[in-house]
A and B are shown apart, each in its own frame.
Chain A
Amino acid sequence: MILFFPLRALRSEWNKASKTFVPWLAISAPFIYALLIYLTLYNAGDRLVKPGTDVWPIMISQSFQGLYVLFLPLAISILVALLYQTDHQANMWKHLYALPLPRWSIFVAKSLFGFLLIGFCLILFSGLMVFASYLLHAKNPSWGLDNFFSMLTNSFLPIAIKGWIASFSIWSIQNWISYRFRNFAIPLSFGLAATVVGAIVIQGWKNVFFFPYSFPVLSLAEITGGVSYHIVFKSLMIGGVVFLLSVIDAQKYFKSKAD
């Protein structure tokens, strides 16, 4: 019975979240972002693209640079905080932790749902960007935007998946804070502040390679620049330690009287 618990818990997380704002956000955020990039290239493409240049690298950097510097860390902060907010507001922890299930298992299942949702958003976004390329190709065949499927499987998806894993440490930090604090403003403002700091330090601070909120954009630089900062390893290490601590916290921590 306990073997199927993660599946059951994920399903019940989905049942809970499916009736909230969360799925709308998870679908509309990638969609709106992809739409904005499409509209930019559609209207100003002639100015941005010089004749004879390879447009795919432009598509890729347009897609992922702003996303990984700003929007992904912010989206993680908002999504994770929203997921936990539903539980905090319903005073759910005392109920969940009095069920005949190990506390850590409930926490892990709830957490993983958020991380999987972020992965879903990134993969959806990759698909939407390739679709946007297809539409741009119809308008400007001279840009040479073709080979959509191989671009999707060889460039967009690998970048998205790598960015997803690189965001593991951001997620694990936001996940812990969102669980720990009832007040929605705390994880949100922490995420916002850290994202802004990340956007500043990426300009040239020498220790940026250890700042989790810069990991996604560094993972993009690894792919496009052909360099290695061991970002995936660092993200998994830092994120893994933080997540482990949060699991121990969930197993040990007893919510305050107000919950």
Chain B
Amino acid sequence: MNNIIQIDNLHFSYSKKKVLDGLTLNVPDQSIYGFLGPNGSGKTTTIRLLLGLAPNKEDNIVTFNHSLRHQRLSILQKTGALVEMPSLYPHLSGFQNLELTRKLIGGISRTRTEEVLEIVKMKNDAHLATKKYSLGMKQRLGLAVALLNKPQLLILDEPTNGLDPSGIKEMRELIVDLHRNHNKTIFLSSHLLAEIEKMATHVGILKAGKCVFEGKLDDLQRVLGKNIIVFKVSDLLEAENIIRAHTELTILKTSKENNMITLQLESEAAIAKVNALLVQHSISVFNIAPEAGDLESLFIELTEPSPL
């Protein structure tokens, strides 16, 4: 599978504050790529850089196999974007807002305006001034604007943020529909794992400006589904031997200085079992603690309850 977006070692700072610190991403063609990260981790900045809305002196963003730095306009011809709040003139109707952008881009037939309204299911409200729209309607119209030039790639920044539960559901269905029935590659940012899990085929997780995980959604679920537990024991070597002899557990690592052994365990019951096993073999267990790995601590941040 080809990558539609390739970012290689991207750095970015806002007035000396480091936002992106060597970000590397690969977004496969025809995927819904969930770009996940806590608030302030650099998601919007990445999206701004992807659209050329933030300055980047390096030549390290490649989209549609073209360098963004050198061929920005030809990339933007194939890209639709919705960054943060949708940009709409409140005094104009949804239809007029669409028409403004359609005329500005040029070379798009008028029927396309009707088509995109149909896709986002906004035909009935198209002649209402957008100041009367709910946030959900604004987001859908913003999406319609992004679809005007029939983009292959859609870049959506937190499209469900601030929506009510029914708005979130509608937006989610719309995104899946665009992917499935209109063959769009969708790059989607969110700070909620639950939200991404419901739509994405691929996931990239951003923390403090770095990508700490990238892969298929299934791979993420595999990694996150396990507990990584550290045991501090009196005799490391003996403990290692006993665990190997009596269980089929994977020993992830051992630390001789601290007498610590790190295991991947399926459940809490397994922790009790290992503890009992060691004690039975006269090995003292001083401490049992989950490892505060990058991904795990991030996982806690990302799993604050979703509204749906």
- Which residues in B have their C-beta under 8 angstroms from that of A11? 103
Q: Is B307 an interface residue (CB 8 A)?
A: no
Q: Is A241 an interface residue (CB 8 A)?
A: no
Inter-chain residue pair count (beta carbon < 8 A): 85
B105 near A97 with CB under 8 A, answer no
Q: Which of A62-70, A85-93, A138-146, A216-224 lines the interface with chain B? A: A85-93
Q: Is B51 an interface residue (CB 8 A)?
A: yes
Complex formed: what's the CA distance from A254 to B48 in Å? Answer: 10
Q: Is B54 an interface residue (CB 8 A)?
A: yes
Complex formed: what's the CA distance from A257 to B107 in Å? Answer: 31
- Which residues in B have their C-beta under 8 angstroms from that of A100? 73-74, 76-77, 105, 149
Q: Is A203 an interface residue (CB 8 A)?
A: no
Complex formed: what's the CA distance from A161 to B289 in Å? Answer: 81
The interface centre, meaning the residue of B14, B51, B84, B89 with most chain A CB atoms within 10 A of its CB, is B89
- Which residues in A have their C-beta under 8 angstroms from that of B85? 91
A34 → B minimal CB distance (Å): 28
B91 near A19 with CB under 8 A, answer yes
- Which residues in A have their C-beta under 8 angstroms from that of B105? 99-101
Complex formed: what's the CA distance from A19 to B90 in Å? Answer: 10
Size class of the contact patch on chain A:
20 to 34
- Which residues in B have their C-beta under 8 angstroms from that of A106? 104
Complex formed: what's the CA distance from A20 to B83 in Å? Answer: 25
- The residue from B74, B103, B145 contacting A8, defined by CB atoms under 8 A apart: B103
- Which residues in A have their C-beta under 8 angstroms from that of B48? 94, 254
Complex formed: what's the CA distance from A19 to B93 in Å? Answer: 10
A138 → B minimal CB distance (Å): 41
Residue-wise, chain A 131-160 has the 8 Å CB interface mask toward B (1 for contact) of 000000000000000000000000000000
B76 → A minimal CB distance (Å): 4
Q: Is A57 an interface residue (CB 8 A)?
A: no
Q: How many chain B residues touch the partner (CB < 8 A)?
A: 36
| Given A15-B99, A100-B77, A101-B73, residue A254 in contact with residue B55 (CB < 8 A) | yes
Closest residue of A by beta carbon distance from B107: A1
Q: Is B39 an interface residue (CB 8 A)?
A: no
| Given A98-B51, A100-B73, A257-B14, residue A92 in contact with residue B103 (CB < 8 A) | no
Q: Is B92 an interface residue (CB 8 A)?
A: yes
| Given A8-B106, A98-B83, A102-B73, residue A20 in contact with residue B100 (CB < 8 A) | no
Complex formed: what's the CA distance from A229 to B51 in Å? Answer: 48
A1-35 at interface with B (beta carbon < 8 Å):
1-2, 4-5, 8-9, 11-12, 15-16, 19-20
A9 near B84 with CB under 8 A, answer no
A9 → B minimal CB distance (Å): 6
Complex formed: what's the CA distance from A11 to B101 in Å? Answer: 11
B53-96 at interface with A (beta carbon < 8 Å):
53-55, 73-74, 76-77, 79, 81, 83-92, 96
Complex formed: what's the CA distance from A199 to B52 in Å? Answer: 44
Q: Is A230 an interface residue (CB 8 A)?
A: no
Complex formed: what's the CA distance from A33 to B293 in Å? Answer: 72
B104 near A12 with CB under 8 A, answer yes
B91 → A minimal CB distance (Å): 5
Complex formed: what's the CA distance from A100 to B90 in Å? Answer: 23
Complex formed: what's the CA distance from A8 to B101 in Å? Answer: 10
Residue-wise, chain B 97-132 has the 8 Å CB interface mask toward A (1 for contact) of 001110111110000000000000000000000000
B87 near A94 with CB under 8 A, answer yes
- The residue from B52, B84, B101, B106 contacting A1, defined by CB atoms under 8 A apart: B106
B100 near A99 with CB under 8 A, answer no
Complex formed: what's the CA distance from A143 to B79 in Å? Answer: 67
- The residue from B53, B86, B90 contacting A98, defined by CB atoms under 8 A apart: B53
A4 near B106 with CB under 8 A, answer yes
Q: Is A95 an interface residue (CB 8 A)?
A: yes
- Which residues in A have their C-beta under 8 angstroms from that of B83? 94-95, 98
- Which residues in B have their C-beta under 8 angstroms from that of A95? 83, 86-87, 101, 145
Query: Can you show 5 pairs from A to B with CB atoms below 8 A apart?
Result: A15-B103, A16-B92, A92-B87, A94-B83, A99-B104
B contacts, CB < 8 Å to A:
14, 44-45, 48, 51-55, 73-74, 76-77, 79, 81, 83-92, 96, 99-101, 103-107, 145, 149
Q: Given A95-B87, A97-B51, list of 12 further CB < 8 A pairs?
A: A9-B104, A15-B96, A86-B91, A91-B87, A95-B83, A98-B53, A99-B105, A100-B149, A254-B54, A254-B55, A257-B14, A257-B45
A contacts, CB < 8 Å to B:
1-2, 4-5, 8-9, 11-12, 15-16, 19-20, 86, 89-102, 106, 252, 254-255, 257
